[in-house]
Amino acid sequence: MKDLQDADSHRAPSAAGGAPHGDSGRPVSELRERIWRIIFLSDTAAGKAFDIALLVMIGLSVVVLMLESVEPLRQSYGRWFRILEWASTILFTLEYVTRLAVCARPWRYARSFFGIVDVVAIVPSYLELILPGGQYLLVVRVLRLMRMFRVLKMAHHVSEGSVLLNALAASRRKISVFMLSVTVLVFVEGTAMYLLEGQANPGFSSIPAAIYWAIVTLTTVGYGDVTPVTFFGKVMASIIMLTGFGILAVPTGIVASEMSRAAAPQQPTDERTCAECGTGGHIRRARHCHQCGTVLQA
């Protein structure tokens, strides 16, 4: 989250270093500053237009990527798809180079969260030219959707995202205990169903298949591609479903209580103890001891 929060650190060339010469020693051109303002901020008309153009480009390039996978469309418009894909890749590359150029601390930008996302958005297209079996990079190319977060960020949505991520991070131990418990549960339930239904039902012919069914059921997805057919199988399945119904409450409870805590007004206490009465646990902005009224020392 550090990287998300110190987004402002990719500062205007003139601001970084506190001197008019910037990090590179040469005088900061006014043009460079203006371009920086357009592509990093959105407080000017040009900056907002740039953001919208960026959103459109990202959207378009992902739509092209999706449509290219539709066989009939590829046969008819494959040529156009490739042109659009390369157009967007080249534009993203130009944008990345410009960002590096106008940024006061290019290396810091390059290692930041969005700097990495920006690279990830363009590298796969070049790699596909070189590598065989490059179609697996499709998944990476879809990640360019994450660039959309950059635009949201300008609109101060990031702090909200931070709250979410912090809540998830704060509960990561509880969630990992929970996930391990769920894993044990689906393994046990899957094995039990394999023993109960394995003979009668091809959907439960092996333990891995039965575990797949248990996951589909416990998460309440319930495709129905595998369903119990014997009486005892249905009884067992009913128990599993009711368990899953109750278990669903646990992660929700974890996150909800974590978010309530994050949202609650904090009264953080500090290390000071009262010289007069020895009381500790004062709130930070306290000046007087809450026990005897003596002025607190820092």
Minimum distance from residue 121 beta carbon to its own copies (Å): 12
Q: Which of 1, 52, 56, 70 binds its own copies (CB under 8 A)?
A: 70
Q: Residue 8 gets which letter from DSSP? A: G
- Binding of residue 222 to its own copies (CB under 8 A): yes
Which residues 236-295 are close enough to bind its own copies by CB under 8 A?
A: 237-238, 241-242, 244-246, 248-265, 267, 277, 279, 281, 285-288, 291-292
CB 23 within 8 A of CB 105: yes
Report how far residue 61's alpha carbon sits from residue 72's, in angstroms, rounded to the nearest whole number: 19
CB 186 within 8 A of CB 213: no
CA distances from 62 to 88, 93, 117, 160 (A): 10, 16, 15, 26
Binding segment for its own copies among 24-32, 88-96, 100-108, 198-206 (CB under 8 A)? 198-206
Minimum distance from residue 154 beta carbon to its own copies (Å): 13
CA torsion angle for 123, 128, 131, 137 (degrees, to 10)?
Answer: 70
- Binding of residue 195 to its own copies (CB under 8 A): yes
- Binding of residue 56 to its own copies (CB under 8 A): no
Minimum distance from residue 88 beta carbon to its own copies (Å): 16
- Binding of residue 46 to its own copies (CB under 8 A): no
CB 145 within 8 A of CB 92: no
b/e sequence 189-204, b meaning 16+ C-beta within 10 Å: bbebbbebbbeebebb
Q: Which of residues 17 and 251 has its CB atom nearest to its own copies in the complex?
A: 251
- Binding of residue 225 to its own copies (CB under 8 A): yes
**Residues ≥6 apart with Cβ < 8 Å to 249:** none
Q: Which of 192, 230, 272, 273 binds its own copies (CB under 8 A)?
A: 192
If we measure between CA atoms, which residue out of 266, 265, 289, 285 comes closest to residue 277? Answer: 289
Which residues 78-137 are close enough to bind its own copies by CB under 8 A?
A: 135-136
Give the residue carrying structure tokens 């659009």: 84
Q: Which of residues 36 and 92 has its CB atom nearest to its own copies in the complex?
A: 92
Q: Which of residues 21 and 284 has its CB atom nearest to its own copies in the complex?
A: 284
- Binding of residue 199 to its own copies (CB under 8 A): no
Q: Which of residues 27 and 293 has its CB atom nearest to its own copies in the complex?
A: 293
